Amino acid sequence: MDTVKPTTNLKKAQETMEASKPDTATRILDVSERLFVEHGFEGTSLRMITQQAEVNLAAVNYHFGSKDALFESVFMRRLAPLVAACLAELDRLDAAEGKTTVEELVMAFIRPCLALSKDPSRGGALFVRLLSRALVENHRLLRETISQQYSVFVHRFGKAFKEALPGLSDEELAWRMHLAFGIMFNAFAGNDVLKIFVRSQVVTARDPDMIVKHLLPFVVSGLVAPAQG
């Protein structure tokens, strides 16, 4: 899909010149990503997508088969590289000598998220929000089709945290990971519960590095806290 393929279509080539318009399928993915984040899966209609992507209404079904399949494509386009990047970080830590610290493990997840947030196309930053949306919406697609193949992600992090936090029981460890990953996703997604109560955003962080600065000590402290008697 990303490979350069010679085009003989002059008209298309010209369009590419003029507006550097990506191809139909990519345009659909880009627009969908944004709209799914803004309005959710149910709240985004194919009409909205195709109008903004300036493609035919039938194009979505033509290229992706169904709205569900489109969602899956939107999702996997970002999820696969993210997971791969995290695993690469873990590999790197495994290869390094000495015991891996909790902070290093946390950064093994944060760093790829950070890269995503800084993605120049802005699509990456949206994806974290999409992920947290999909999570809360508890998508059938998440539970059934998508992922589940990424259990390796959880297992690898689980093993690494177990080694880094030897004092914790398995149950306690699972909870810590649950809380830690939850808080990290929330932070990057910019979900601010307190917005429910006050109009003004409590935290103002457009800068992803600021997120890390405040997030990191919180998460690490939470993870290493002594378990409650």
Query: Residue 57's binding partner, choosing from its own copies, DNA, none, with beta-carbon cut-off 5 to 8 A by kind?
Result: DNA
Within 8 A by CB and 6+ apart from 37, the residues are 126, 129, 130, 133
Site string for its own copies, 26-45 (x = CB under 8 A): ------------xxx-xx--
Query: Residue 178's binding partner, choosing from DNA, its own copies, none, with beta-carbon cut-off 5 to 8 A by kind?
Result: its own copies
Spatial distance between the Cα atoms of 93 and 101, rounded to a whole number of angstroms:
9
Site string for DNA, 38-77 (x = CB under 7 A): ------xxxxx------xxxxxxxxx-xxxx---------
Taking the complex as a whole, how short is the minimal distance between the CB of residue 139 and DNA, in angstroms? Answer: 14
Q: Does the footprint of DNA cover residue 23 (CB under 7 A)?
A: yes
With contact defined as beta carbons under 8 Å apart, do 73 and 26 qualify? no
Q: Does the footprint of its own copies cover residue 195 (CB under 8 A)?
A: yes
DSSP secondary structure string, the chain? --S------HHHHHHHHHH-PPPHHHHHHHHHHHHHHHHHHHH--HHHHHHHHT--TTHHHHHHSSHHHHHHHHHHHHHHHHHHHHHHHHHHHHHSSSPPPHHHHHHHHHHHHHHHHT-TTSHHHHHHHHHHHHHHHT-HHHHTTSSSTTHHHHHHHHHHHHHH-TTS-HHHHHHHHHHHHHHHHHHHHT--GGGGT-SS-S----SHHHHHHHHHHHHHHHHHSPPP-
Taking the complex as a whole, how short is the minimal distance between the CB of residue 173 and its own copies, in angstroms? Answer: 10
Q: Does the footprint of DNA cover residue 3 (CB under 7 A)?
A: no
Taking the complex as a whole, how short is the minimal distance between the CB of residue 45 and its own copies, in angstroms? Answer: 10
Query: Residue 143's binding partner, choosing from its own copies, DNA, none, with beta-carbon cut-off 5 to 8 A by kind?
Result: its own copies
Site string for its own copies, 121-160 (x = CB under 8 A): ----------xxxxxxxx---xx--xxx-xx-xx------
Of the candidates 65, 159, 182, 207, which one interacts with its own copies according to CB under 8 A?
Answer: 182
Spatial distance between the Cα atoms of 24 and 63, rounded to a whole number of angstroms:
9
Which residues 117-146 are close enough to bind DNA by CB under 7 A?
none
Q: Which residues bind its own copies (CB under 8 A)?
A: 38-40, 42-43, 79, 83, 131-138, 142-143, 146-148, 150-151, 153-154, 171-172, 174-183, 185-187, 189, 191-199, 202-203, 205, 213-228
Q: Which residues bind DNA (CB under 7 A)?
A: 8-9, 12, 23-25, 44-48, 55-63, 65-68
